[in-house]
Structure 1
């Protein structure tokens, strides 16, 4: 449902990436991606090849988890995940711009055992996941992580082509060992459609690319040039959007787009954002894009910050954000 300030005249483009998935570097797909990234920073992808049965199983198992008592869900609370930054948080346990979100969720990442060098080195955001005691939950999440990681590489190849770069540009330099962050969010129904609270307030994503599976209820809104627009679910399509690091790498040519969520459906809404981010130790510098003239941003970013001014690695950047999202985990993760 659109709010009064939402405009509906702008559409998020739908891009069939089946040729890209098949390993074909098509000019047409690159053109469509470039147009979408310049205009809205968001696009749907179809023809992605992710098994619908796997998606359905993931959704059903997630509903089973969230239907449990709070006491049961807290058995895998994030405090138990330590530096790996994994597990469950209750409604209000995550902040956006300092305000509690009206959602609960599960955090997952690449599954690493204690023998992995990054775990041995005590690198933040690396380690084992915390899984609920539900049949097939662990297997389903790990399968989903594997196929979505491959899709992330594929879509980044398309983005590289859209910038006039070699398809392997990002994989060779920034995503050889990508930081994978996967979330399962449940947005409970609001007590009133007019309530000022947001499922997630206005924000941009930290990394390169977000690939979102959402259920059939809607609620995602994107801040286009003309105003806020709804991004309704499309059957078997993922919503993709640019993150801050792609903004940084392209020198602002592809800008990370603010978005938000308000669940006015009257039912529990599920969403499954998959964040495909740079290597934790990667230092990201602007790409020399031939023939590209970047217009100066006409308005201040939502957070009054600049993704172009920070120095350090992607790990430095994302960890600087962790304390704002989960203040109580600051000492565990930083």
Structure 2
């Protein structure tokens, strides 16, 4: 195991579905990791390995398709749902183009759903590569379902770690979560001199991100000391990190942690599968009653914005953020 792994906890979450001392111990480990790192690995999550392999293999096949084929499901064709394929350079982080391409999915909603009829942004049907990979749709749907279950389990553990009822987050925020899923493909750097940040430093928007990595590595996190450490792949685990809304809910007790991704210095691309488990689109995210609020860290944040002075519902915050990372969403979708 790499030396840097001594610093990021690996937590078995299987006891969270049980009762008793082991359940409490697992929850306490998650709480300690959230306070100390904002990142942790999980094992014992129960997500089928066959399904994970199908996801990885299908993704490799999709990204190997010609660009004109991938563009048949480009995000601009998904309307206000903003789902589908995005090409290299079309997603920005901190105003800089990411060195990756990807697929974006969310909850599958039919066109006659009330949210879709009301033209609520980021709501609607997904765009799947059915013509070229007809079986990939079900793999993605099944994986999102499995990861939603993992997200609910983790939030139960986080609630316990904070001395809250197990269903605290479920009742207020995640009964009907905003669950977004990306599949990202990073091209390898040709040589060390060709190195670029695949994604520059940032924090995530929502409650919790659960990441499946391939074997290429490249994820780095920033410690409170300012040191950057690697978060390499560990077989059988996912990497989890706190998002801005959990930072807000806990009044800064749990802080969303800066992270970034290096372009892979290998001869093969890097695949990454982040699942974003976030509050309901219409939830009014508020600090937990009675929690001790920490000093606002606006001036230290990468975007210089205070999440603790947020007003409005989560969906407004999310659309604002997504409009920055996908400028085409604003110019081609939201303004029309």
CA contact (8 A) 1:34 1:162 kept: yes
Superposition deviation, residue 333 in structure 1: 3.7
Structure 1 partner of 2:301: 301
Structure 1 partner of 2:117: 120
1:192 lines up with 2:191 in the alignment: yes
Listed as ranges, the matches of 1:234-249 within 5 Å are 234-249=234-249
CA contact (8 A) 1:186 1:271 kept: yes
Superposition deviation, residue 192 in structure 1: 3.1
CA contact (8 A) 2:296 2:306 kept: no
Length, aligned pairs only: 328
In the alignment, the residues of structure 2 paired with residue 10 and residue 256 of structure 1 have an alpha-carbon distance, to the nearest angstrom, of 21
Determine helix, strand or coil for the equivalent of 1:81. Answer: helix
Listed as ranges, the matches of 1:175-190 within 5 Å are 175-190=174-189
More helix by share: 2
CA contact (8 A) 1:84 1:333 kept: no
In the alignment, the residues of structure 2 paired with residue 297 and residue 176 of structure 1 have an alpha-carbon distance, to the nearest angstrom, of 30
In the alignment, the residues of structure 2 paired with residue 299 and residue 89 of structure 1 have an alpha-carbon distance, to the nearest angstrom, of 32
CA contact (8 A) 2:37 2:223 kept: yes
Q: Greater shift after overlay, 21-30 or 96-105?
A: 21-30
1:16 lines up with 2:17 in the alignment: no
Segments of 4+ in structure 1 off by > 6 A?
none
- The 1:193–1:253 alpha-carbon spacing in structure 2 relative to 1, beyond 3 Å, is same
Q: Greater shift after overlay, 178-187 or 301-310?
A: 301-310
Superposition deviation, residue 264 in structure 1: 2.8
Superposition deviation, residue 139 in structure 1: 0.6
In the alignment, the residues of structure 2 paired with residue 177 and residue 120 of structure 1 have an alpha-carbon distance, to the nearest angstrom, of 18
CA distances 1:32-81 after superposition (whole Å, capped 9, x unpaired): 01110011100000000000000000000000000111111111001001
Structure 2 partner of 1:251: 251
Determine helix, strand or coil for the equivalent of 2:284. Answer: coil
In the alignment, the residues of structure 2 paired with residue 204 and residue 10 of structure 1 have an alpha-carbon distance, to the nearest angstrom, of 23
Structure 2 partner of 1:36: 33
CA contact (8 A) 2:16 2:27 kept: no
Structure 1 partner of 2:213: 214
Q: Greater shift after overlay, 175-184 or 261-270?
A: 261-270
Q: Which residue, 48, 51, 55 being the options, matches 1:51? A: 48
Q: So what's the TM-score if we normalise by structure 1?
A: 0.94
Superposition deviation, residue 295 in structure 1: 5.9
The runs of 5 or more residues in structure 2 that have no matched partner are none
Structure 1 partner of 2:161: 162
CA contact (8 A) 1:213 1:273 kept: yes
1:78 lines up with 2:75 in the alignment: yes
- The 1:192–1:106 alpha-carbon spacing in structure 2 relative to 1, beyond 3 Å, is same
Superposition deviation, residue 310 in structure 1: 2.0
Superposition deviation, residue 224 in structure 1: 1.1
Determine helix, strand or coil for the equivalent of 2:47. Answer: coil
In the alignment, the residues of structure 1 paired with residue 91 and residue 175 of structure 2 have an alpha-carbon distance, to the nearest angstrom, of 30
- The 1:298–1:104 alpha-carbon spacing in structure 2 relative to 1, beyond 3 Å, is closer
Q: So what's the TM-score if we normalise by structure 2?
A: 0.93
In the alignment, the residues of structure 2 paired with residue 8 and residue 46 of structure 1 have an alpha-carbon distance, to the nearest angstrom, of 18
CA distances 1:203-245 after superposition (whole Å, capped 9, x unpaired): 0000000000000110000011231000010101000000000
The runs of 5 or more residues in structure 1 that have no matched partner are none
In the alignment, the residues of structure 1 paired with residue 149 and residue 19 of structure 2 have an alpha-carbon distance, to the nearest angstrom, of 12
